[in-house]
Amino acid sequence: MKALVYHGPGQKSLEDMPKPALLEATDALVRITKTTLCGTDLHILKGDVPTVGAGRILGHEGIGVIEATGDSVTRFHPGDRVIVSCITACGKCEYCRRGMCSHCEKGGWILGNTIDGTQAEFVRVPWADTSLHLIPEGSDDEAMVMLSDILPTGYECGVLNGCVKPGDTVAIIGAGPIGLAALLTAKFYAPADIIMIDQDDHRLDVAKKLGATRLINNGDGKAMIKIMTMTYGRGVDVAIEAVGIPATFDLCQSIIAPGGHIANVGVHGESVPLHLETLWSQNITITTRLVDAVTTPLLLKTVMAGRLLPKQLISHRFPLSEVMNAYDTFANAAREKALKIILTNEPPAP
């Protein structure tokens, strides 16, 4: 089968790889129909995620059709259409039972990390009963792909950890797919203001269409002053960091109001100074989280009800066979006006 294989920092290729087989009774084999690229995959390719070894098939998002199931899988059957969650959950360990499936003792974020992932024609999904979601009749396939990772990540790591409340002033630093997913799901709570900060006017335009109330292009490095002016010197109640570099986390620290919440979502590859010399007395909370994907059923319902329209986050479409071009487009997101890129795996000829 065709698959996108990582060969160390900066190196990847589309290759023929052996089709995966069921290894455990709790596994399912899924024929991928649509998958996508993630900012996390770019971090892997930068060398920021050392757990990913050479030879690994990347990808942790996608939807597909069950091809085969192990003997102890009871909730899914061959032919079922499913969402593959970016988080694999055994459902039984202490972390899973606390709802912290990201740290599942036998799973967590393993797809496209420590086991082969979804940027391939087929993927083996461990703990299928508790790691897949059935796709309802009448759904839009492309919208379903957004439920693998970015919607639960934006919602759980950004909005829930940031404790967004009615009337809050929320700043989202980074208007990429994850920042925009945080924007879409922050609106559940009717904050007064959602300020989007990015250096890309196209992304800010998209944010405006999706409901951001104020936009700041930080190309001039003056976002802090602009936000303090907008908030009458008070700062923001919630700062969601959706980039993953020191400068953006530092901006969160400089704009947070007393009592506020800094919710980190970005994948960081280097250390960031923590300004306790100013923050120690400010009653703020800083949270970090790897998505647990425990809100996927809730988000699926809101998508099916038409209250959440994640398809707006999709900018490009390629066949899986053109995944290398898709990576080039995604890596030059500003030039290409790229957000989420859908890769389609055509069904085999009858």
Q: Does 73 bind Zn ion (CB under 5 A)?
A: no
Determine the Cα–Cα distance for residues 20 and 271; give it in Å rounded to an integer.
37
Rg of the chain on CA atoms, in Å: 20
Nearer to Zn ion, 303 or 341 (CB): 341
Q: Is there binding between residue 120 and Zn ion (CB under 5 A)? A: no
Task: For residue 285, report the phi and psi dihedrals to the nearest 5 degrees.
Answer: -120, 135
84: contact with Zn ion by CB under 5 A: no
Cα of 161 vs its chain's centroid, Å: 15
- Residue of this chain nearest to Zn ion (CB atom): 38
- Residue indicated by tokens 């050392």: 50
User: For residues 93 and 64, is the Cβ–Cβ distance under 8 A?
Assistant: no
Q: Does 42 bind Zn ion (CB under 5 A)?
A: no
Q: Could you tell me the smallest distance in angstroms from the CB atom of residue 253 to Zn ion?
A: 26
Backbone angles phi, psi at 249, to 5 degrees: -65, -40
Q: Is 245 in the site for Zn ion (CB under 5 A)?
A: no
Among the listed ranges 42-50, 101-109, 256-264, 303-311, the one in contact with Zn ion (CB under 5 A) is 101-109
User: Which one, 104 or 272, has the nearer CB to Zn ion?
Assistant: 104
* Interface with Zn ion: number of residues (CB under 5 A): 7
**How distant, in Å, are the alpha carbons of 29, 65, 75, 107 from that of 136?**
19, 13, 14, 25
Q: Cβ contacts of residue 285 below 8 Å, gap of 6+?
A: 163, 260, 261, 262
Residues recorded for the chain: 350
Q: How far is the CB of 130 from Zn ion (least distance, A)?
A: 8
Beta-bridge partner residues of 47: none
Residue 38 contacts Zn ion per CB under 5 A: yes
Smallest gap from Cβ 321 to Zn ion, in A, equals 21
Least distance in Å: CB of 107 to Zn ion?
6
Contact 316, 335 (CB under 8 A): no
* Contacts (Cβ under 8 Å, ≥6 apart) of 111: 59, 60, 84, 86, 88, 117, 118, 123, 125
Compute how many other C-beta atoms are within 10 angstroms of the C-beta atom of residue 151. 30
If one asks whether residue 223 binds Zn ion (CB under 5 A), the answer comes out as no
Residue 46 CA to residue 39 CA, distance in Å, equals 11
Stretch touching Zn ion by CB under 5 A, among 65-73, 102-110, 162-170, 337-345: 102-110
Site string for Zn ion, 247-286 (x = CB under 5 A): ----------------------------------------
Given 3, 57, 84, 90, the residue binding Zn ion (CB under 5 A):
90
Measured from the Cβ of residue 295, the count of other Cβ atoms closer than 10 Å reads: 20
Member of 96, 194, 243, 294 binding Zn ion (CB under 5 A):
96
- Residue 233, judged by CB atoms within 10 A of its CB (0-12, 13-18, 19+), counts as exposed
Least Å distance, CB 226 to Zn ion, is: 30
156 near Zn ion (CB under 5 A) = no
Decide if residue 104 touches Zn ion (CB under 5 A): yes
> Is 292 an interacting residue with respect to Zn ion (CB under 5 A)?
no
Residue choice 1, 65, 68, 93 for contact with Zn ion (CB under 5 A): 93
Residue 331 half-sphere exposure, CB side, CA atoms within 13 Å? 13
Which stretch, 84-92, 176-184, 195-203, 321-329, contacts Zn ion (CB under 5 A)? 84-92
Least CB distance from residue 178 to Zn ion, whole Å?
A: 8
Q: Using the rule CB under 5 A, is 320 a contact of Zn ion?
A: no
Query: Per CB under 5 A, which of residues 126..155 are in contact with Zn ion?
Result: 149
Check binding of 298 to Zn ion (CB under 5 A).
no
Interface residue list for Zn ion (CB under 5 A):
38, 40, 90, 93, 96, 104, 149
